[in-house]
């Protein structure tokens, strides 16, 4: 078997053809503090099961005068969610200059306004902690960038400097801001590459010194108890003029390299790639089971939203049928909403332009905002729907109706049931509404779904049975608790999509030990729908019941009627 050093060197070769890759490999192994000849991580091993479920939150979502925001978050997780979740993704908690944390000033510090490393380590001791590795860019106010301008190390050579002669006509952009921005250095003006904003300057991974920095950062995070790493915007990380500069082969090699180093330091560590791109390109980040352990299932949010807006699950059903089962050691990371909006690029090639525009129109009517991206020829197209999930479920394409709560719970029943690891954005779990005030104050569309709660007021609303916040919280928590007890909802359990018409979305899950089957059926329309149980071919020698209601099926040839947005989890194991 090849040594770790040899394997690292083989991956470094295509990235740094002019470097002594054996020397660089040994440096990286030393930075990660790996012991040569140490135990090998078990290949194709699932580091998760049906009990795994994440909540996504900013560090400062819950505010009070009495405690630091991270202490409030820890209190909320421990007192209100401990029985429902296994992990928490705390969005960037570092000092930053813009983009709510994604323009990192210092990767080694915690933003003092939210807490410090002891609070992070406390949460990591109780839950699986996911942290962002903002790998594509850092803040223009970082020490690295200031050193770049002063031509000092560390920082000199750390950023992508562009030349006007470069062919950048095919570069894929997620923003409409200028790609290249002029900055003054000791040697005069330089053009630096900024994929996302002038304050977020792209790092130059073609310089191996940048790679060394991030290996050291990963090692430091592991030492703080962080187990799960979200590689933010990693698809854009490698640049080659004359190409789209997205999803390049060098990027995939880089992910493989970092995974190899991380899993040798902590075998149960998990790397998740955040690649908000069309579906087929996203799947490529599984590699051959040697890149991301998990990928964000970015197509799910827009397809599920379209399904519930139209009362027609055709596109979602067809997509589920073509979703390749994740091999052991890999998993989908499922979500419906996040700190960003509902991305539309992952629906490209699945929904038509007219169907996407239908969603844009509906979300605008429900108080949402629309973000656009630039395209060649000066054109722009919808890139993201910015809206709270609660408001997104206010009605259908016909307008608002009385089914908002039922529709909202149906959406979560679908997400919690399909293959993969589920993650719930805290504002969805709380039923938070559009925050128009934050948008007005910041002129930033994404702030519509980044509300900051007064913690005491939130707890009062969650205790008020008449509040929709209470109803959402208790309803979704109940679904989460049921899900975690079902082996058939293991992230890698077998899944087959059922053909029940366009108004009923159904799929069958079977546990890895084949002892439990669950038929998950959901009425995605605003009208009652018949469900002939004979269409499911339930084994009549077993006892079947609905895990959500407790209803036992006495007659397997009967026809049930599902009310608007009702869902069933029919199981042969209570």
Give the CATH number for residue 560. Answer: 2.60.40.1180
Tell me, yes or no, whether 138 lies in a domain. Answer: no
Residue 574 has pLDDT above 70, yes or no: no
Q: Which of 232, 340, 435, 526 is catalytic?
A: 232
How would you class 459 by CB atoms within 10 Å of its CB: exposed for 0-12, middle for 13-18, buried for 19 or more? middle
- Residues of the chain with pLDDT > 90, as a percent, come to 93
Q: Which residues contact 267 (CB under 8 A, 6 or more apart)?
A: 39, 41, 42
In which band, very low, low, confident or very high, does the pLDDT at 373 lie, cut at 50, 70 and 90?
confident
Q: Phi then psi for 4, rounded to 5 degrees?
A: -60, -40
How would you class 250 by CB atoms within 10 Å of its CB: exposed for 0-12, middle for 13-18, buried for 19 or more? middle
Lowest-confidence region among 269-278, 303-312, 354-363: 269-278
Q: Which residues contact 407 (CB under 8 A, 6 or more apart)?
A: 308, 393, 564, 565
Tell me, yes or no, whether 156 lies in a domain. Answer: no
Q: What's residue 515's pLDDT?
A: 96
Confirm if 494 and 513 have CB atoms less than 8 A apart.
Answer: no
> Do residue 379 and residue 485 come from a single domain?
yes
In which band, very low, low, confident or very high, does the pLDDT at 158 lie, cut at 50, 70 and 90?
very high
Distances 398 to 136, 356, 525 between C-alpha atoms, Å? 41, 15, 12
CB atoms within 10 A of CB 357: 12
Residue 535 has pLDDT above 70, yes or no: yes
Tell me, yes or no, whether 398 lies in a domain. Answer: yes
CB atoms within 10 A of CB 475: 18
Bridge-partner residues for 373, per DSSP? 381
User: Which residue range(s) make up the domain with 316?
Assistant: 54-133+223-233+247-489
How would you class 90 by CB atoms within 10 Å of its CB: exposed for 0-12, middle for 13-18, buried for 19 or more? buried
> Do residue 320 and residue 395 come from a single domain?
yes
Lowest-confidence region among 174-178, 316-320, 409-413, 470-474: 174-178
> Do residue 307 and residue 389 come from a single domain?
yes
Pick from 358, 436, 454: which is nearest to 391 by CA?
Answer: 436
> Do residue 446 and residue 337 come from a single domain?
yes
Domain ends where: 489, 517, 538? 489
Domain ends where: 426, 455, 489? 489
Question: What is the CATH number for 360?
Answer: 3.20.20.80
Bridge-partner residues for 55, per DSSP? 88, 424
In the chain, the number of structural domains is 2
Q: What's residue 376's pLDDT?
A: 61
- Residues of the chain with pLDDT > 70, as a percent, come to 99
Q: What's residue 556's pLDDT?
A: 96
> Do residue 501 and residue 471 come from a single domain?
no
> Do residue 453 and residue 550 come from a single domain?
no
> Do residue 485 and residue 499 come from a single domain?
no
Tell me, yes or no, whether 166 lies in a domain. Answer: no
- Length of the chain, please? 574
Is 26 marked active-site?
no
Domain ends where: 467, 489, 511? 489
Span 394-432, pLDDT tens digits: 999 999 999 999 999 999 999 999 999 999 999 999 999
Tokens 């938070």 identify what position? 432
């Amino acid at each position: 078997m090849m040594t770790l050093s040899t394997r690292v060197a083989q991956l470094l070769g295509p990235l740094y053809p002019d470097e002594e890759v054996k020397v660089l490999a040994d440096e990286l192994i030393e930075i990660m503090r790996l012991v040569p000849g140490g135990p090998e991580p078990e290949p194709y091993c699932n580091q998760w099961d049906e009990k795994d479920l994440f909540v996504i939150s900013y560090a400062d979502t819950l505010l009070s005068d009495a405690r630091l925001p991270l202490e409030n978050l820890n209190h909320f997780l421990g007192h209100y969610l401990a029985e429902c979740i296994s992990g928490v993704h705390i969005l960037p908690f570092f000092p930053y200059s813009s983009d709510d944390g994604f323009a990192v000033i210092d990767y080694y510090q915690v933003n003092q306004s939210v807490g410090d490393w002891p609070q992070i380590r406390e949460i990591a001791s109780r839950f699986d902690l996911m942290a962002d590795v903002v790998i594509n860019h850092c803040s223009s106010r970082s020490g690295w960038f200031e050193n770049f301008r002063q031509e000092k190390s560390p920082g000199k050579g750390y950023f992508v400097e562009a030349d006007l002669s470069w062919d950048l006509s095919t570069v894929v952009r997620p923003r409409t801001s200028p790609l290249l921005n002029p900055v003054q250095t000791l040697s005069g003006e330089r053009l630096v590459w900024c994929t996302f904003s002038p304050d977020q300057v792209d790092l130059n991974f073609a310089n191996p010194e940048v790679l060394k920095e991030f290996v050291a950062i990963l090692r430091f995070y592991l030492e703080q108890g962080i187990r799960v790493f979200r590689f933010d915007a990693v698809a854009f990380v490698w640049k080659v003029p004359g190409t789209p500069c997205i999803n390049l082969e060098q990027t995939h090699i880089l992910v493989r390299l970092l995974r190899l180093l991380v899993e040798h330091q902590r075998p149960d560590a998990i790397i998740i790639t955040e690649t908000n791109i069309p579906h087929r390109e996203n799947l490529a980040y599984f590699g051959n089971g040697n890149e991301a352990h998990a990928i964000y299932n970015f197509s799910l949010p827009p397809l599920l939203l379209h399904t519930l807006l139209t009362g027609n699950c055709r596109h979602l059903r067809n997509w589920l049928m073509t979703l390749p089962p994740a091999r052991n050691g890999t998993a989908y990371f499922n979500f419906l909403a996040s700190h960003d909006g509902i991305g539309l690029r992952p629906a490209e090639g699945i929904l038509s332009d007219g169907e996407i525009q239908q969603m844009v129109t509906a979300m605008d009517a429900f108080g949402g905002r629309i973000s656009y991206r630039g395209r060649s020829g000066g054109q722009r197209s919808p890139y993201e729907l910015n809206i709270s999930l609660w408001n997104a479920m206010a009605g259908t394409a016909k307008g608002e109706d009385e089914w908002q709560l039922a529709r909202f719970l149906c959406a979560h029943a679908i997400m919690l049931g399909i293959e993969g690891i589920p993650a719930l954005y805290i504002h969805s779990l709380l039923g938070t509404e559009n925050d128009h005030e934050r948008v007005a104050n910041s002129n930033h569309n994404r702030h519509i779904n980044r509300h900051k709660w007064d913690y005491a007021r939130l707890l009062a609303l969650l205790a008020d049975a008449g509040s929709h916040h209470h109803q959402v919280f208790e309803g979704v928590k109940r679904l989460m608790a049921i899900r975690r007890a079902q082996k058939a909802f293991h992230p890698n359990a077998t899944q087959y999509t059922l053909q029940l018409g366009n108004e009923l979305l159904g799929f069958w899950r079977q546990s890895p030990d084949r002892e439990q089957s669950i038929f998950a059926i959901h009425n995605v329309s605003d009208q009652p729908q018949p469900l002939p149980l004979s269409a499911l071919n339930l084994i009549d020698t077993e006892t079947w019941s609905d895990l959500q209601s407790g209803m036992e099926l006495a007659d397997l040839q009967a026809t049930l009627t599902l009310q608007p947005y009702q869902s069933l989890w029919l199981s042969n194991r209570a």
